[in-house]
Structure 1
Amino acid sequence: MSFIIDKQTLQDLNISGKYNRDSIFSLYNKTETFGGELLLEKLFLQPFTDPAAIDRQAALISFFRSSQQTFQINPDDLDIVQNFTNSYSDQHFALALAHAGRRKLLAALGLKEEKKYLESGIRATLRIMLHLASYLSELQQQDKTDLLRGSIFDQAWLREEYTQLAQLQHKIESYADSIPLGLAASCDYQLRHKWSKEIQQSLSAIYHIDLYQSIASVANDRGFVRAEVVAAERQHILLENVYHPTIPNAVGNDLTFDGERNLLFLTGANMAGKSTYMKSFGIAIYLAHIGLPVPANRMVFSVKDGLYSSINVSDDIDMGHSHYYAEVLRVKKVAEYVNQGKNMVVIFDELFKGTNVKDAFEATLTVTRAFQQHHNCQYLISTHIVEVGQQLQQEDLSVQFIYMPTEMRGQVPYYSYRSAQGISSDKHGMVLIQKEKVLELLEHNSK
């Protein structure tokens, strides 16, 4: 079953986008190869819903994080090998010999490019394959749990053919300028015919090494942690000091969902950090379902069917939808998932802000009550309408109340970005208007 997520949620959390330097993808993208980058893109588009798959992915990343070995990638050699091996054909040795003879003849006539292409391809392929064999051998010696057995990193053919590959390299190294016709034909035949499929698999292994080295490097440099997967029926999410990974010096916060305590009601003034709090939570949930390390001190979670948010929703001019109607459609979609019995994480920032205060109060209160009754989903909902929270408190529902505090230092608001228990009544809209002297400007221009 595929993890449920839509374009709006990916945009809200700024997950995708290799051309967006601030995206979560770009944060993790330290790959050195095009193939490694493609694998990372694929990984970011396919979160898991199987706990075993998540756990295996996380275990592989942890293995690379702790590995003392680094595979040094030579981009020039890799480009040569990719071009050389991608042009292989099912040819017999006699045909390989004929092609080698043709290249030598052309070189004798002054047309040396084909011969140079063949010989550089042979040399680079042997160098990379032997380098890979040595690296994987060292890696397997570190593998105490057979994690790599049967994986892309278990290149058995390199172990079996290592001696022959080493002999071929030894032979061609004695010819610095030009490889003899027979030896060139033999190498060409074996590299692009006999071992062609195996070499393609080994190149894939190199791209996977690049992928995991990139992830491990970012996680180690930033101190991210492996998320712990628990049984889905626990309906449990615990985050300690989770923070936004692309905000410098971001402040971390704690939050927990467990069983009936499935709804967190968030309040606070503008600029107090509500949206960042919500995005930090959503990003951690998404990364955990990919099996990637998360920006927190600790994370424990039950696997969910999907993640759905409504943070930066706008109107849809093409469809003729107002901002409020667009919000209603987002809520309706969640209701459909809930009705289908899906286990979702749902994030709503400023629910129903596209309508008047009275309608927003009634709609927020009614929808929040309804959501809270479905304990297979976890909800994080923020609003400026603190009266909704006060009403929910009186009803004694299993709702958690969190707010982002504001401290006034004279006429200047100070934000700690550290959540607190309770409901905020902070309203500093006029303070900011006065601070920026908006009314003074208008009074001056009216004279």
Structure 2
Amino acid sequence: MKVLVVGTGYVGLVTGVCLASFGHDVVCVDQDWQKIARLNMGECPIYEDGLEPLLREQLLANRLSFDTAISDSTDCDIALIAVGTPPRNDGSADLASVFEVVSELGHKLKQGAFIGTKSTVPVGTAHSIETFLESMGRQDIRVVSIPEFLREGSALSDTLQPSRLIFGVPDEESLRVLEELHRPLEVPVVACNRATAEMIKYASNAFLATKISFINEIANICERVGADVQQVSQGMGLDPRIGSSFLRAGLGYGGSCFPKDTRALVNIAGDVAYDFKLLKAVVEVNQRQRTEPIRRLRQWFGDLSHIRVTLLGVAFKPGTNDIRESPALEIGERLRSQGAQVQFYDPVVTRFQLQSQEFVRVLDDPYMALEHADAAIIVTEWPEIVDLDWARVGAVMRRRLVFDGRNVLDPAALEEAGFLIENFGFHPALLLASARDSAVQA
């Protein structure tokens, strides 16, 4: 098939490269000419394991190309929209870019072509696109919904080996086309109407976000009653009805999907006069969780002015250079506003921009970043951070205070190295006191 992909962010680029590897003839379009120039040279603008070699392989096979504009004579069978849908101030999704693309496609697509939405869009968007095209006199174009479920850091494997495919289609012919587009993949397929497909995407992300906020609330209770949240998570996760994924307490979710999609679903519910109280609480808990390290620092130091803090990790998760909605940015901003000196380390991210437009340099040597620090906060569970030589860390820090924001370090090992360590849902002193109480009662 001849495929056009509009947008070369995480979703668009990974989708385009993988569809080319299926044997399709793929053209990816993006207005960023510098990005397109890099892509045509085989350089991947995002950090994603295995993506760049596969991209180069498809370029050499002449199955993949990149351009800055949709050709006036495009003869693609299906055009996939993968542009951004950023949140507005009220949390709703901004579809301006989506409909700009639809308008252009309406003028350029051949008779009988298909348009598929890969962007995460509110329920009812496919129908709105169809109505818009009809107003242009393009009743011949069929609109389908193909939500994606890739995770940054494992986007390639998630696309080549997905857990399921969701096809939102208006008729049998549309279903046949989507099956042909994804023919190499032998996975469960859910064929449904387009509104259902759009809701599946939002519901999936909202449920996973709920699991994260739920276990963070449990962690906060564990700290107060002397329980260990990691063992609580393990015990819960062994129940097949619950599962172990997304049950690790920490700084909460970030990235380009969960924060945006949870707020958007709250807004979608509000538009139909439904108060989604549960999801509102999920969002509130997540926001509160990421400021917890600052509260701990105040317990340790009182006034935070003139202390030096190192944030270990800037990317919102390991395996990616994406910093969107990363807790590191908010924590760093808040610490700086209270007079603290802040250093950043990340193995992939080299710099980022604050809300003040100031660019911040990110060090690529963790030990250099930790020199003379009064405290360190684990923000991202990169292996390079988890496996640090903590004896060496202790030698370069001014004070040995660590807040493990991802619950990935061994508290006993760090305490043996002379550190005071705290995390979410586990206080060694409380557990020891509980054990003593149990022994006395026995």
TM-score by length of 2: 0.28
Please state which structure has a larger fraction of its residues in helix.
Answer: 1
User: Between Structure 1 and Structure 2, whose CA radius of gyration is higher?
Assistant: 1
Greater relative contact order, per chain length (Cα 8 Å cut-off, separation 6+)? 1
